[in-house]
């Protein structure tokens, strides 16, 4: 399921402008080679693990891996026709079925209890319970904060911003869900929701067209969640923060280079 997640992050970002056959070829190579290699650096007892890098359930190892690949693919593909006017100003291309999108986010929120709760491999009841609670609180906080900040910026209540804020909170807590208190989880989720709104605005300014906000949610909130392990919770320290930062940089560099190579070959 984690491997599938890394693949589907890319599918959202490149929606409406890529052949299904090209996407499938990219997925087989990226998820078959790049994802397990990076995962082994931490979860397989590799170099990142030996260094002291921590990522409980994949803010970096799953979400930013998919996010980096999506960023490269979007950059090389260019925008959808009609997304930017002749002055370069972004125009909204609304989704066609908001209830269906909302149902998808509800399924993701529920599924994240397996994503994070299932990562307590010992199935310890106390630790699993804590992980489930921190996951849920971060999601709720992300939805609330994204709603508030998007309303301040755009003077409207945008359900898609709320939904992406929920996902930003979930991605943000994923790296340290077993390390945080309930209050810390809400802070991390709230900041994740704000980051998503700001990242969506930044990507539009850079003329990068991401129809579903996948890069903002999975890459930006994923990096935040990974760094948050060094700021909050049981592992918080300046040294741990620097280790987390190094891990984000190493994984980012490898993903960018490998995704660039694969996309250029497939293209």
> Rounded CA gap, 210 and 216, in Å?
9
pLDDT score at 88: 86
pLDDT score at 83: 93
Instruction: Please count the CA atoms within 13 angstroms of the CA of 250 that sit on its side-chain side.
Output: 18
pLDDT score at 238: 97
Q: Enumerate residues 6+ apart whose C-beta is below 8 A from 118.
A: none
DSSP 68-117: HHHHHHHHHH-PPTTSB-TT--B-----S-HHHHHHHHHHHHHHHHHHHH
Burial-class residue 139 by CB neighbours within 10 Å (0-12, 13-18, 19+).
Answer: buried
- Start-to-end Cα distance in the chain: 27
* pTM exceeds 0.75, yes or no: yes
Q: For residue 19, how far is the Cα from the chain centroid?
A: 24
Burial-class residue 249 by CB neighbours within 10 Å (0-12, 13-18, 19+).
Answer: exposed
pLDDT score at 12: 92
Q: Which residues of the chain have a pLDDT value below 70? A: none
> Rounded CA gap, 166 and 153, in Å?
18
pLDDT score at 122: 85
Identify whether the C-beta of residue 164 lies closer than 8 Å to the C-beta of residue 213. yes
What are the start-end ranges of the H helices in the chain?
2-13, 20-29, 35-42, 47-51, 65-77, 98-117, 125-154, 159-174, 182-205, 214, 221-228, 238-266
> Rounded CA gap, 79 and 10, in Å?
15
Nearest Cα to 59, choosing from 230, 200, 238, 260? Answer: 230
Tokens of 70: 């999506």
pLDDT score at 247: 98
> Rounded CA gap, 181 and 27, in Å?
36
Task: Express each pLDDT in 21-72 by its tens digit.
Answer: 999 999 999 999 999 999 999 999 999 999 999 999 999 999 999 999 999 9
């Amino acid at each position: 399921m984690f491997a599938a997640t890394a693949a589907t992050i890319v599918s959202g970002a490149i929606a409406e402008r890529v052949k299904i056959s090209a996407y499938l070829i990219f997925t087989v190579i990226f998820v078959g080679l790049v994802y397990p290699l990076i995962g082994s650096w931490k979860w397989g007892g590799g170099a990142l693990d030996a260094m002291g890098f921590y990522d409980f359930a994949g803010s970096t190892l799953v979400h930013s891996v998919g996010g980096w690949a999506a960023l490269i693919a979007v950059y090389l593909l260019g925008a959808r026709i009609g997304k930017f006017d002749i002055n370069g100003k972004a125009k909204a291309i609304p989704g066609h079925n908001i209830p269906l999108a909302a149902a998808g986010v509800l399924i993701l929120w529920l599924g994240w209890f397996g994503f994070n709760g299932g990562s307590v491999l010992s199935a310890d009841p106390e630790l699993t319970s804590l992980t489930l609670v921190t996951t849920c609180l971060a999601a709720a906080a992300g939805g609330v904060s994204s709603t508030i900040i998007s309303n301040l910026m755009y003077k409207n209540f945008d359900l898609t911003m709320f939904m992406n804020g929920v996902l930003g909170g979930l991605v943000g807590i994923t790296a340290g869900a077993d390390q945080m208190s309930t209050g810390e989880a809400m802070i991390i989720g709230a900041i994740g929701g704000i980051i998503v709104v700001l990242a969506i605005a930044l990507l539009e300014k850079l003329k990068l067209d991401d129809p579903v906000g996948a890069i903002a949610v999975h890459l930006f909130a994923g990096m935040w969640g990974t760094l948050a392990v060094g700021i909050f919770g049981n592992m918080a320290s300046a040294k741990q923060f620097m280790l987390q930062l190094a891990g984000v940089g190493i994984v980012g560099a490898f993903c960018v280079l490998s995704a660039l190579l694969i996309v250029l070959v497939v293209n």
